[in-house]
Chain A
């Protein structure tokens, strides 16, 4: 991974929503580099802003939301400055595609599968009629739909959940995007199908060579697919690093807590670890480290000042005062240490 260029760079992104006269800050200065050709997983608890964050890359925030400040650099342009639909249409669905969580509702129930794919092909590849139809059938075939010619004429209700997700992926692939964002693409599917879809995305990635952002709650999936991991909390990226770094040498207390709550790390006979408290109210201004009130071993400074990103090792950063030279030494919780002991680094 070393030396790869970032294909997309986000700096200090702030996203706000207006909700009934009040303002909610959903993304509070998040920074991230997405490297060409990698698979990056974004993890974090529900409401931490994973979806909102990635939606800004294709200009699909809800009506009441806006990018308040920060930049999103992609192909030499700053996406954060895009305002009109015309500008976004150059990127959205052409260069950056998105696959959503629930394939059951992602397709228009009243139009045939074929037409919904054909529509994209016509729009982005300038084909029409029969030619576009053939291209759509080929896409269906490519994502592993058996008997694509017949399936082309069918309607979404005639497809199973896994098949529909394949169709959605085919739509996302239609114009050979450079970045594919998958927002929990397998959460709504059952486990065996999940694995198939993950394999499909991997296979397509090696065929088409795009970069993938993978949003998920499932750390098992992360371990399977991700090259790098970004941990998100309360609208900020609190730790990024290679999958090995984040799993075996996590530095942020929130990452510790997140990993400790993995069932695999639980000790038999002891209650499973769970993070106490609730995520902060995003309507309020947050002072210091957003995780501090829930962190049993928070420092005083965590309540005063927001920690900067500290470099742990090249490619591995975490935003916590624990990494400041002045901070007292603190060993991670036992579960994390146990994990570290299993580090397979020696084999590589």
Chain B
């Protein structure tokens, strides 16, 4: 079997070169080392924590971090603003004490930071009040949709018998454009805060339910959960360790994304004239008031201020929701 040629075919060059490196090595090294059973484990991959990695990934996203701070500041300010000194009521019509006439369409000044509107109301306090209203709608709708969606979605996903019925109902609801559902419901009911909330929840819950259902089905049938169950892992542990981290991230994303959507619909419905009553300042009402006088360039501040605020809020929620969902996806973790 042995012959000289075969040796040449191997990698003898490497043998010699490396062998030399050890030539001067201390002969004491050629004795058995004591064996440490745990050493074999320690060399392995570092242990991994889902939430820590998620946080870590999220903090790496500079844009998201910036928007988080910005949004946090705006939200805090929205609720603090009425408590600050020297704030006017958002619905107060300011009258010039000298002439007894309204302070109409005053451009921004030291007195009225964002100016006044066409009947002399302070735009600065109206914008914060409007933001409060719109955010409140957004959050209520987001939470209600989430509760309904999770409840129905869970039944839909887990109870196999219910699957057909739910699927048919969903198909019907999903076939109608959201715009139409919203308009119809808002049209039928009297314009009010409740009307807005009800209409938007009615238009949105089934989408969330569908989403939750799909997630549950996917997760339920994942091999690792089957495997985990076969190994005798208690159900609550599977839910805590395998289902929840994933679902939580998905739910956070959906809630975060539903807020800009809600604000958008509110602006739209107000435009049509079936939104909130004009007596309640809201971002939709403010944008609409600004629109009515947008043809006068010197008055466009009344449109631009509310739209800037709307845009910052919606963009922040949207980007943050997506950033969080990216960060919470284990595939993006190291």
- Nearest Cβ distance between residue B59 and chain A, in whole angstroms? 13
- Let me know if A321 is at the binding interface, CB within 8 A: yes
- Let me know if B48 is at the binding interface, CB within 8 A: no
- Nearest Cβ distance between residue B123 and chain A, in whole angstroms? 47
| A interface size (C-beta, 8 A) | 49
Residue from A35, A301, A313 in contact with B1 in the complex, judged by beta carbons closer than 8 Å: A313
- Let me know if B27 is at the binding interface, CB within 8 A: yes
- Nearest Cβ distance between residue B23 and chain A, in whole angstroms? 10
User: Contacts A293-B43, A308-B19; is A20 near B14 (CB within 8 Å)?
Assistant: no
Cβ A276 vs Cβ B37 within 8 A: yes
Bound-complex Cα distance A122 to B10 (A): 39
Q: What 0/1 readout, one digit per residue, does chain A (279-308) give for beta carbons within 8 Å of chain B?
A: 111001000000011111111111111111
Bound-complex Cα distance A278 to B37 (A): 11
Q: Which residues on A sit within 8 Å (CB–CB) of B29?
A: 299-301, 304-305
Q: Which residues on A sit within 8 Å (CB–CB) of B17?
A: 308
Q: Which residues on A sit within 8 Å (CB–CB) of B30?
A: 299-301, 321, 324, 326-328
Cβ A314 vs Cβ B3 within 8 A: yes
Within 8 A of A (CB), among B1-24: 1-3, 5-7, 9-12, 14-15, 17-19, 21-22
Q: What 0/1 readout, one digit per residue, does chain B (243-255) give for beta carbons within 8 Å of chain A?
A: 0000000000000
Residue from A281, A299, A303, A328 in contact with B46 in the complex, judged by beta carbons closer than 8 Å: A281
Cβ B27 vs Cβ A297 within 8 A: no
Cβ A6 vs Cβ B9 within 8 A: yes
- Let me know if A311 is at the binding interface, CB within 8 A: yes
- Let me know if B334 is at the binding interface, CB within 8 A: yes
Residue from A12, A295, A300, A321 in contact with B28 in the complex, judged by beta carbons closer than 8 Å: A300
Cβ A306 vs Cβ B18 within 8 A: yes
Bound-complex Cα distance A228 to B17 (A): 25
- Let me know if B111 is at the binding interface, CB within 8 A: no
Q: Which residues on B sit within 8 Å (CB–CB) of A2?
A: 1, 3, 5-6
Cβ A280 vs Cβ B15 within 8 A: no
Bound-complex Cα distance A12 to B13 (A): 11
Q: Which residues on B sit within 8 Å (CB–CB) of A12?
A: 14
User: Contacts A300-B33, A311-B10, A314-B3; is A281 near B43 (CB within 8 Å)?
Assistant: yes
- Let me know if A315 is at the binding interface, CB within 8 A: yes
Cβ A305 vs Cβ B25 within 8 A: yes
Bound-complex Cα distance A77 to B333 (A): 39
User: Of all chain A residues, which has the CB nearest B60?
Assistant: A20
Q: Which residues on A sit within 8 Å (CB–CB) of B21?
A: 305, 308
Q: Which residues on B sit within 8 Å (CB–CB) of A305?
A: 21-22, 25, 29
Cβ B43 vs Cβ A33 within 8 A: no
Cβ A31 vs Cβ B11 within 8 A: yes
Within 8 A of B (CB), among A1-19: 2-6, 11-12, 19
User: Of all chain B residues, which has the CB nearest A292?
Assistant: B33
Cβ A298 vs Cβ B43 within 8 A: no
Q: What 0/1 readout, one digit per residue, does chain A (309-325) give for beta carbons within 8 Å of chain B?
A: 11101110100010010
Cβ A309 vs Cβ B11 within 8 A: yes
- Nearest Cβ distance between residue A317 and chain B, in whole angstroms? 6
Name, among B3, B5, B6, the residue most crowded by chain A CB atoms within 10 Å (CB to CB).
B6
- Nearest Cβ distance between residue B15 and chain A, in whole angstroms? 5
Cβ B2 vs Cβ A313 within 8 A: yes
Within 8 A of B (CB), among A87-138: none
Cβ B32 vs Cβ A328 within 8 A: yes
User: Contacts A277-B40, A314-B2, A315-B6; is A298 near B33 (CB within 8 Å)?
Assistant: yes
User: Of all chain B residues, which has the CB nearest A298?
Assistant: B33
Bound-complex Cα distance A22 to B45 (A): 14
- Nearest Cβ distance between residue A111 and chain B, in whole angstroms? 27
Residue from A278, A324, A328 in contact with B31 in the complex, judged by beta carbons closer than 8 Å: A328
- Let me know if B44 is at the binding interface, CB within 8 A: yes
Q: What 0/1 readout, one digit per residue, does chain B (47-91) give for beta carbons within 8 Å of chain A?
A: 000000000000000000000000000000000000000000000
A–B Cβ pairs within 8 angstroms, 15 of them: A2-B1, A2-B3, A22-B334, A33-B11, A277-B39, A277-B40, A278-B43, A298-B35, A299-B32, A300-B32, A309-B10, A313-B2, A315-B9, A328-B30, A328-B31
Extra contacts besides A278-B45, A308-B18, A314-B10 (10): CB < 8 Å: A11-B11, A11-B14, A33-B9, A279-B44, A281-B45, A295-B35, A299-B32, A307-B22, A311-B7, A321-B22
Report A's interface with B, CB cutoff 8 A: 2-6, 11-12, 19-20, 22, 31, 33, 35, 276-281, 284, 292-311, 313-315, 317, 321, 324, 326-328
Q: Which 4 A-B pairs have the closest CB atoms?
A: A277-B40, A308-B18, A278-B44, A301-B29
